[in-house]
Structure 1
Amino acid sequence: MSLRTLLSAAFLMAGLSSAQAETLYFSAIPDEDDTALKARFDKVAAYLADELGVDVAFVPVKSYAASVTAFRNDQIQLAWFGGLTGVQARMVSPGATAIAQGVEDREFVTYFIANAETGLTGSDTFPMEMAGHSFTFGAKTSTSGRLMPEYHIREATGQAPDAFFSRVGFSGDHSQTLRLVSTGAYEIGALNFSVYDKAADEALPEVETARIIWKTPPYPDYNWTIRGDVDARFGDGFTDRVQDALIGMDDPDLLASFPRSGFIPADNDDYAPIEAVGKELGLLE
């Protein structure tokens, strides 16, 4: 065998090894405690690796903004975003597309919760009695923890949140919002309904002192978004294969960790309402 043939074979094998070694990295907005997120998404990584036949690794991030930056910089190729962060990520990564959402994400809602000491009770209409109390959002770019609650506060009151409430803060994530309201550090807060419902199902003590007083009208929220260049890297049809794997996820334990009852197809147009509100509030350019 000639030297040229040997070299060609070596380069071919190196190319194959490189392709086989390609890893799909994914992340998620840190909407709960780090420990809960790692437990939840390490299992998802194992499931996707089995379904796709490639190495898959979960990459934790420290903030909502960091998840968008990691996606833009190709440090991750797939992400479980909120409605707003998904829009942000697709704006900075041409060709990126939403491929799946939870069944519940078609009509997501935010709960407004209040510490029991406030005396506030449940209402079918926006509770104007919240005026003058302290209030916490979740993360600054959270759809359910900031974008949509701020939108409804402004629509109902005609005021900015810091004018309607005595003090306004940002907890960073939904679990922390629940804790802060339950302890009275903030009298009222807004959070993802599924985080509160999960806490109630688990009979966590926080729900005894942090009670639901209002829920928003529904809106589209969380989504799986994938970069537009994955087919070139992992092979033709890879995007479709990832979508099929997500929609085919039926293990009750995996789904309960989100928590979602299942995943359904999604596309970028589903999140046009979120983009419109984000621009109206100055959170998107």
Structure 2
Amino acid sequence: MTFSPLRTLKTLIAASLMFAAAHSQAQQVLRVSAIPDEAPTELQRKFKPLGEYLEKKLNMKVEFTPVTDYAASVEGLVNHKLDMVWFGGFTFVQAKDRSKGQVVPLVQRVEDEKFRSVFITTSKNINSLQDLKGKTLSFGSESSTSGHLMPRSFLLAAKIDPDTDLKRIAFSGAHDATVAAVAGGKVDAGALNISVWEKLIEQKKVDTGAVRVFYTTPPYFDYNWTVRADMPAELKKKITDAFLALDSSTPEGKAILDLQRATKFIPTKAENYVNIEAAARNAGLLQK
């Protein structure tokens, strides 16, 4: 066989082009996830129309990958297994800390500028945070902003240490599970995201004659959509623009915003979460 430098060069160029095309095709998938603050089926239901909308706006495939727990959502983004994640304020702070600042929050709901948590109970004897002393309480996930960090922070501010002043604390893993634990009598009280609480009431999945809110926290910044800092600037802009373009006056926009429990999306920035980070460090949930 005669050696042909030209043929070899052509082969190398063809192989290189095939690799580049394959790599380009691989990059045409946006891998998305969310903290599992609700049941997996509910998360999938909420994301489906949003994912279809983003596919049209970005002209690329969008895949939703559920994760087992909050920590997995952080690790997935930091370790390049995910491209974009719906974080709570605390999980964003954890991802920022773990990646040494290599994550960027793009957008949040208007509602996330002044988010709140609620404390609920079935007991007639619990009417204030002080009444929780000696009682049992369920938080959501340990890494939840609205289901653990901020409720714990407000308890500490009221001079109540959940670890020593309460009879027992539990972690349900998700907001809807916290409501179920309280309604089922497994704990005396629970703390959860006000948005999920209101949704469960609207869906008539909670008996408000038995379970009631006895304390609502002051507002704080919470959820956002976060990407890695190394994502191409053009794609970051396209994603941001797609969220900002969602409009409740259109049928598609209204359907998506309603599922996301959002009036609209607005830009956000890491600086919005400095108080969450401070609360996490003060509560001993993030290393100082």
Tell me if TM exceeds 0.5. yes
Q: Which residue of 2 aligns with 1:37?
A: 43
- In the alignment, which of 130, 135, 138 is matched to residue 136 of structure 1? 138
Partners of 2:255 and 2:226 lie apart in 1 by 22
Aligned to 1:70: 76
* TM-score, normalised relative to structure 2: 0.90
SS at 2:38 equivalent: coil
- SS of residue matched to 2:105: strand
Task: Specify which of 81, 84, 92 is matched with residue 90 of structure 2.
Answer: 84
User: 1:104: which partner in 2?
Assistant: 111
Rounded to whole Å, the distance in 2 between the matches of 1:160 and 1:205 is 29
**Does the alignment pair 1:21 with 2:26?**
yes
For structure 1, which runs of at least 5 residues remain unmatched after alignment? none
Matched position secondary structure for 1:99: strand
Give the Cα–Cα distance (whole angstroms) in 1 for the partners of residues 209 and 182 of structure 2: 11
Amino acid at match of 2:185: G
Number of residue pairs matched by the alignment? 275
Contact 1:102 1:222 in 2 (8 A): yes
| Structure 1 residue ranges (4+ consecutive) displaced by more than 4 angstroms after TM superposition | none
Encode CA deviations 1:163-186: one digit per residue, 9 max, x unaligned.
Answer: 222221111100000111112111
Distance 1:36 1:208 in 2: 25
Task: Kindly report which structure 2 residues correspond to 1:226-245, keeping only aligned pairs within 5 A, or say none.
Answer: 226-231=227-232, 236-245=233-242
Distance in 2 (alpha carbons) for counterparts of 1:16 and 1:189: 52
Cα separation, 1, equivalents of 2:81 and 2:243: 21
Assess if the C-alpha contact under 8 Å between 1:182 and 1:209 holds in 2: yes
* Residues 9-43 of structure 1: CA deviation (Å, up to 9, x unaligned): 45224413421332110110000011101122233
Inter-partner Cα distance in structure 1 for 2:125 and 2:49: 40
CA contact (8 A) 1:255 1:261 kept: yes
Which TM-score applies when normalising by structure 1?
0.91
Contact 1:114–1:120 under 8 Å retained in 2: no
Structure 1 segment 114-125 matched on structure 2, within 5 A: 114-115=121-122, 118-120=123-125
Counterpart AA for 1:95: Q
2:130, 2:160 within 8 Å by CA — same for their partners in 1? no
Q: Does 99-108 or 16-25 show the bigger shift? A: 16-25
Is 1:257 paired with 2:259? yes
Choose 1 or 2 for highest CA Rg: 2
Identity of aligned residues (%): 36
Q: Which residue identity lines up with residue 42 of structure 1 in the other structure?
A: K
Correspondence 1:125-204 to 2 at 5 A: 126-156=128-158, 158-204=159-205
Q: Distance in 2 between matches of 1:192 and 1:30?
A: 13
Deviation at 1:2, TM superposition (A): 5.6
Distance in structure 1 (CA, Å) of the matches to 2:185 and 2:51 = 37
> Which residue in the other structure is 1:208 paired with?
209
Corresponding position of 1:54: 60
Amino acid at match of 1:262: K
1:217 and 2:222 aligned? no
Tell me the CA shift for residue 260 of structure 1: 1.5
